[in-house]
Amino acid sequence: MTLRVREKQNVEVALYDVLGQKVRTLHDGALEANSPHTLTVDGSSLASGVYLLQVRGDTFQATEKITLAR
């Protein structure tokens, strides 16, 4: 996954199960403005199923549903 922010800010990228429990934090810290940041989701230790990927910054929040299938 690649993300880019318009201004330097703190960003947390986390993966949640369908019950809302955080299963993994992929990033938690500052990201520089206008620079692509690539994050890799290693799902090898996760069960197949639906997860929510949440990206929260100082000025935004986005959530995407992802499906992990083996």
Fold of domain 2-68: Immunoglobulin-like (2.60.40)
Average pLDDT of span 36-47: 90
Do the Cβ atoms of 43 and 49 come closer than 8 Å? no
Residue type, 67: T
| The pLDDT of residue 61 is above 90 | yes
* pLDDT tens-digit series, residues 15-39: 999 999 999 999 999 999 999 999 9
**pLDDT (0 to 100) of residue 1:** 86
The domain spans of the chain are: 2-68
**How far is it, in rounded angstroms, from Cα 14 to Cα 5?**
16
Do the Cβ atoms of 9 and 58 come closer than 8 Å? yes
Tell me phi and psi for residue 12, to 5 degrees. -115, 130
- What pTM value is reported for the model? 0.88
- End-to-end CA distance of the chain, in Å? 19
